[in-house]
Amino acid sequence: MSIDRTEQNRGRNTSKIPADFPAAPLTLEGYSILHQMFRVRRRELRALDAAKRNAALKDASQLFGEMARREDGETALFSALGHKGDLMIVHFRRSFEELGQAELAVAGLALSDYLEPTTSYLSVIEIGLYEATVALYRRLVENGVGPRSPQWKSEIDSEISRQREKISPRLFPKIPARPYLCFYPMDKKREGADNWYRIPIEDRQRLMHEHGMVGRRFAGEVTQIISGSIGFDDWEWGVDLFADDPLVFKKLVYEMRFDEASASYAKFGPFYVCIRLEAAELGKLFSI
């Protein structure tokens, strides 16, 4: 976005929120997420005694089956397409400590000797409350409540509690059972005039609302889970898209490229497209 365009937006959406109010929107956090990507070491696997290979696969299938049946944060397996890896393991857990336990459990498998890590991604399910934040901040301004005062903190806590109660299921979801997964990380630009973090919060709220409206047109076709990774990994957010038809990924991402929040401010990382793999079918991935 050019400087002129930014100024036009500011003129059209004159912010009533003072500059000393926090620039970041309120957020709600849910499950901690770890994506693990591996490449199968097929040469070493071929050299392994068949009985040992079958025993390793049986133990791994049993562990992943147990993880998939967890009631409070589960694990799902995906067969990855292309050269970036062969197996993606996605863990949803209540805490980083539980993610660490899951990671160690995978590393403890005999099968892990034949899995070469290619990448990983650590994040936490995040729901940004731009709409609620702007509405609350405007109300606080009208009532003469300054930032970080006792009343301010009380109002913030109350709003967070109300929003958490309303959307709690979205914070702690099951991993969607749809057969296709598209995962990618992304940033918001900080480049000259195209700096997301220099835009007033009311303008960011408008842009995110417009961005969200594009996604709603694909409701029912895609299940989207956004996770925040600022301070946790190399990118700022992770996006998981689950669908019954992989062509939806292309259509959704392509259409979103044209909305202002993406066209002017989004930077996309690598894309990983995978097919759901049940624990009992793990042997198919290791067939030699």
85 occurs within a structural domain:
yes
* pTM for this entry: 0.91
User: What CATH number did the domain enclosing 85 receive?
Assistant: 3.30.70.1030
Residue 61, Cβ neighbours under 10 Å: how many?
A: 18
> For the segment 87-131, what is each residue's pLDDT rounded down to a tens digit?
999 999 999 999 999 999 999 999 999 999 999 999 999 999 999
Q: What is the tally of structural domains in the chain?
A: 1
Per-residue confidence at 8, pLDDT binned at 50, 70, 90?
very low
Q: How far is CA 217 from the centre of its chain?
A: 20
pLDDT in tens, 185-243: 999 999 988 999 999 999 999 999 999 998 889 999 999 999 999 999 999 999 999 99
Q: Domain containing 74: what range?
A: 31-124
Catalytic annotation on 184? Answer: yes
Helix 96-107 with 50-68: angle, nearest 10 deg: 160
Does residue 42 belong to any structural domain of this protein? yes
- The three-state secondary structure class of 257 is coil
The count of residues in the chain is 288
Q: pLDDT grade, residue 288 (50/70/90)?
A: low
Q: Give yes or no for a contact between 125 and 31, defined as CB atoms under 8 angstroms apart.
A: yes
DSSP, residue by residue, 137-179: HHHHHHTTPPTTSHHHHHHHHHHHHHHHHHHHHHHSPPPP--S
Structure tokens at 30: 């849910």
Catalytic-labelled residue, pool 130, 180, 184, 265: 184
Q: Decide if 249 contacts 178 (C-beta within 8 A).
A: no
Residue 119's closest CA among 14, 15, 34, 246? 34
